[in-house]
Amino acid sequence: MGGFSYKDVYVEDGKRVLEVNILPEKYCNFDCIFCPIGRSENKVDTQKAFDEYESSLIELAKMIENTKAELIFINSKGEAFVNDKIGEIIDFIKGKGLHVRLLSNGYLLGRDEYIKIANKCDEVVGEIKVITEEDFRKVQRPIEGYTLEEYISNMVSFNKQYKGKFIFEITIIKGYNDDEESIQKIKNIIKEISPNKIIITRMEDERFKKKLGITDERFEEISNVLLNIS
Ligand code: SF4
């Protein structure tokens, strides 16, 4: 089974946003312990063909028309780059005069073939969730050989050449990156990446909130620091 799936349209900054998932099931190069989608049975970082591409595009055109969407957010079950038609899908949406936002965990933004694809988008979202190599391996369980250092440098080099809006999403996780030393490290990473927009978030999923969630007070404190870097 192939096919795309959708979330209900919502309005953000006056624009109607349609979120589309272009993967039939989870495909990711990470296997985070707190992934809202579940385990990564298919840990991959190379592209693959999925069924029902033609009919999915027809359906996407209908969805765009019916919802009057203005911004299409490619927010997939895992890493959207893995769909070998992602470039064509972005071209199809851009051909309709619409804006495209692409969510990636950011690791693959260091590879030429994916840089080309991401450069077609008006907005790209990259993420960070932990701050040490050990936690990266233990908690995000990426494909063997991946390092946090490379993860960050991939986003840094990508954004140096990117002309669109780079959005950097930082998830604060209790016990992993909510202490002062980690916040300082995150500040330095933000400076290096130099994103156009920063989003600070925390564990909201009920399954992980108790163990990994931070208090409202601490969240506000950290947000204030990270959103006001001079
Ligand atoms: S990077 Fe995102 S989609 Fe991939 S395993 Fe981690 S939380 Fe899940």
Express each pLDDT in 139-153 by its tens digit: 999 999 999 999 999
**Cα 104 to ligand 1 centroid, rounded to whole Å:** 9
Q: Which domains does the chain show, CATH number per domain? A: 5-225 (3.20.20.70)
DSSP 138-196: III--STT--HHHHHHHHHHHHHH--SEEEEEEEE-TTTT-SHHHHHHHHHHHHHH--S
| Number of other residues whose CB lies within 10 A of the CB of residue 66 | 10
**Cα 28 to ligand 1 centroid, rounded to whole Å:** 6
Which pTM was predicted? 0.96
Please write the tens of the pLDDT for every residue from 25-34. 999 999 999 9
Lowest mean pLDDT among 138-142, 148-152, 157-161, 225-229: 225-229
Please write the tens of the pLDDT for every residue from 69-111. 999 999 999 999 999 999 999 999 999 999 999 999 999 999 9
Ligand 1 atom at minimal distance to the Cα of residue 105? 1
Rounded CA separation 55/30 (Å): 29
